[in-house]
Amino acid sequence: MDDQLARVLDDLYRAGRAHDGPLADRLQRLRNMTPDAARLIATLIRARRATSVLEIGTSNGYSAIWFADAARDTGGRLTTVEIDGSRAAVARANLERAGVREYADVVHGDGADVLARTPDASVDLVVLDAERPAYAEYLPQLRRVLKPYGVLAVDNAVSHRDQVAAFRELLTAEKEFAVALHEVGDGVLTGVRVLS
């Protein structure tokens, strides 16, 4: 990662923390992923040589910059989905400022709709960082869209353990996924789709 990109990420993260601090309403907060969690997922993108990466929950594009930078290295592309149009616009501007806009498509929409229209076995890595109660409903589509040995990564699996518990149980019960919890940042749950 070049110095300019590292500086943009650092600035954005600090500004995000300062923005969120005084806000009581969680939905008003930007809720950026921790740098450690984003770095872990960016590492998985590179290790998997993922060329098709899908993120649900863009916010202002902080984690999307990490993933677009990794996708640049693999010759791939990130699609990141945000339900709030003004946030999607801010994310596009932040990706531009970071110099990785050309490696990312920011979709203004509902992650469930985007998953439903994603072709079978077409995605190398999916990141879930949106509304946790919805994840269980995504599971059949996640199973369908991930390539064999594709990776699912779910943030906040430790910080919001209770809210992720039902999804974690469902995923663990699936024979098709090898599941692991990583105590990095706010906790990253991964599932590798081991059967085709």
Ligand X SMILES: C[S@@+](CC[C@H](N)C(=O)[O-])C[C@H]1O[C@@H](n2cnc3c(N)ncnc32)[C@H](O)[C@@H]1O
Torsion sign over Cα 104, 109, 111, 116 = negative
Shortest CA distance to 57 belongs to which of 75, 37, 43, 73?
Answer: 37
Pick between residue 99 and residue 109 the one whose CB is nearest to ligand X.
109
Q: How many helices (H) and strands (E) does the chain have?
A: 7, 7
Shortest Å, Cβ 70 to ligand X: 14
Pick between residue 66 and residue 177 the one whose CB is nearest to ligand X.
66
Pick between residue 96 and residue 195 the one whose CB is nearest to ligand X.
96
Residue 81 in the binding site for ligand X (CB under 6 A): yes
Stretch that binds ligand X, among 105-113, 115-123, 142-150, 175-183 (CB under 6 A): 105-113
Residue 33 in the binding site for ligand X (CB under 6 A): yes
Stretch that binds ligand X, among 3-11, 124-132, 140-148, 173-181 (CB under 6 A): 124-132
- Long-range contacts from 130-134, C-beta under 8 angstroms, 24+ separation: 130/56, 130/57, 130/83, 131/57, 132/156, 132/160, 132/163, 132/164, 132/167, 133/163
Residues of this chain that bind ligand X (CB under 6 A): 31-33, 56-59, 62-63, 81-84, 87, 110-112, 129-131, 134
